[in-house]
Amino acid sequence: MSRNSESVFENFLRRHDEAAWAGALESLLPAVHEVDRNATSIWFAFFPLALARAFEQSNEPEQLAARLLMQGNYRLDDQIDSSHAFLYGHRHWPEVKRAVAAHATQFTEETAAADSAMLAAHVRQVAREVATQLKVEESLLVGITAVAFMTLRQVGLAAFAASPGEVRLDGKTARQSPEKILRERAKDDSQGLLGAFLRTTDKRWTVTWNERDPTARFQMIHHQEVASAAATDKRDWSQVDPRCTVDEGPIPVQCRSASCGTCWVGVLGGAEKLTPVSPRERKAMQLFGYVDTDDPQPTIRLACQAQGEGAVSIVIPTWNGVFGKYLRRLREEEAAEASQGAQAVSQ
């Protein structure tokens, strides 16, 4: 789609750069229910605007993907209705998607001019409307609505509106309350009557990698790396995800030394139960482009480096790549161009 054929709302979203979206997300997170607060941050890390913009600006996206060592399904266009399945708010996606599409079609130039910096306010407005319609807490819809806005920004209104907007939840998952999910995430495994006397190396913790699937669990020995523990699941996961190898479990992994970035995961619950980020892991995640934070126990980790000290709930992204250095160079080039443009205007 050309810029000239974009809707007013699409142009409004496009005017917000990565810093503006980050600011909007920061202001929205306190209003997101605890059950989806980490999940919302994780989704935005899984589908970063900076990477989407890099592909939008590329004349040869396939060559760019090869250059950035992209593996798996990194295209949001192919997973509009499923990329956010790990959010509690996913169950309300059909209503949220319709409301966001309606908001987009009703958006006018006057609205854009009046609210040019109020991206978060528009998210809250739509979330509030859907919450009233469904008679649920607004906080349960703020995260998934923010996801819908960013999804529309990246895929365009036509593709966004054309997707079926369907979700698939079994009865048990649909009936779970946010409070029950939070209790499950906070709960550690009982070590039995002898638990207090066990050596730490004998303690085992459950890693949940898909909260909607009761079989998506594996055991992790105390202070074992998450990726190593995943290898105890001997099912052939290469049939499910081509990035996986036989006998390595559901988390894609290649090097086990923070050199490939294949094993990055999001931590929905229990981030504080994983060992702090080492300098090596932090440097590697910045190189890959996954996260740049000083948080010692962030919600994005390399599973080959993070060691368990309790039960955790994680989500596995559908792709991986090495794009941090590339994006930094793009930002520097854009900043230089902007500076040159400003100098030309002043002269």
Domain extents for the chain?
3-175, 187-316
pLDDT of 251 strictly over 70: yes
Mean per-residue pLDDT for 210-216?
Answer: 95
Q: What is the mean pLDDT of residues 236-241?
A: 93
Does 3.30.70.270 match the CATH number of domain 187-316? no
Average pLDDT over residues 87-93: 98
Question: Can you tell me the mean pLDDT for 71-76?
Answer: 97
The residue type of 124 is R
> Rounded mean pLDDT of 268-289?
97
The whole-number pLDDT of residue 117 equals: 65
Alpha-carbon span 229 to 249, nearest angstrom: 8
What would the two tokens of residue 330 be? 């793009």
- SS3 letters for the chain? CCHHHCCHHHHHHHCCCHHHHHHHHHHHHHHCCHHHHHHHHHHHHHCCHHHHHHHHHCCCHHHHHHHCCCEECCCHHHHCCCCCCCCHHHHHHHHHHHHHHHHHHHCCHHHHHHCCCCHHHHHHHHHHHHHHHHCCCCHHHHHHHHHHHHHHHHHCHHHHHHCCCCCCCCHHHHHCCHHHHHHHHHCCCCCCCCHHHCCHHHCEEEEECCCCCCCCEEEEECCCEHHHHHCCCCCCHHHCCCCCCCCCCCCCCCCCCCCCCCCEEEEEECHHHECCCCHHHHHHHHHHCCCCCCCCCCCEEECCCCEECCCEEEECCCEECCCHHHHHHHHHHHHHHHHHHHHHHHC
Check residue 109 and give its pLDDT.
86
**301, two tokens:** 């980790």
Coil/strand/helix, residue 199: coil
In this predicted structure, what is the pLDDT of residue 199?
65
Q: What angle do CA 14, 19, 25 make, to 5 degrees?
A: 90
What's the rounded mean pLDDT across residues 10-26?
95
DSSP state for residue 302 in the 8-state scheme: E
- pLDDT reading at 339 higher than 70: no
What the block records as the tokens of 50 is: 């900076």
Average pLDDT of the segment spanning 294-304: 97
pLDDT band at residue 345, thresholds of 50, 70 and 90?
low
- Tell me: the pLDDT tens digits for 32-66? 999 999 999 999 999 999 999 999 999 999 999 99
Tell me the mean pLDDT in the region 130-157: 98
Res 202: pLDDT: 78
DSSP 331: H
Q: Quick one: pLDDT at residue 334? A: 78
| Cα separations in angstroms, 271 against 158, 267, 311, 330 | 37, 6, 10, 31
**Is the Cβ–Cβ distance between 264 and 285 less than 8 Å?**
yes
Q: For a pLDDT cut of 90, what percent of the chain falls above it? A: 82
What predicted TM-score, i.e. pTM, was given to this entire model? 0.94
Determine the pLDDT at residue 145: 98
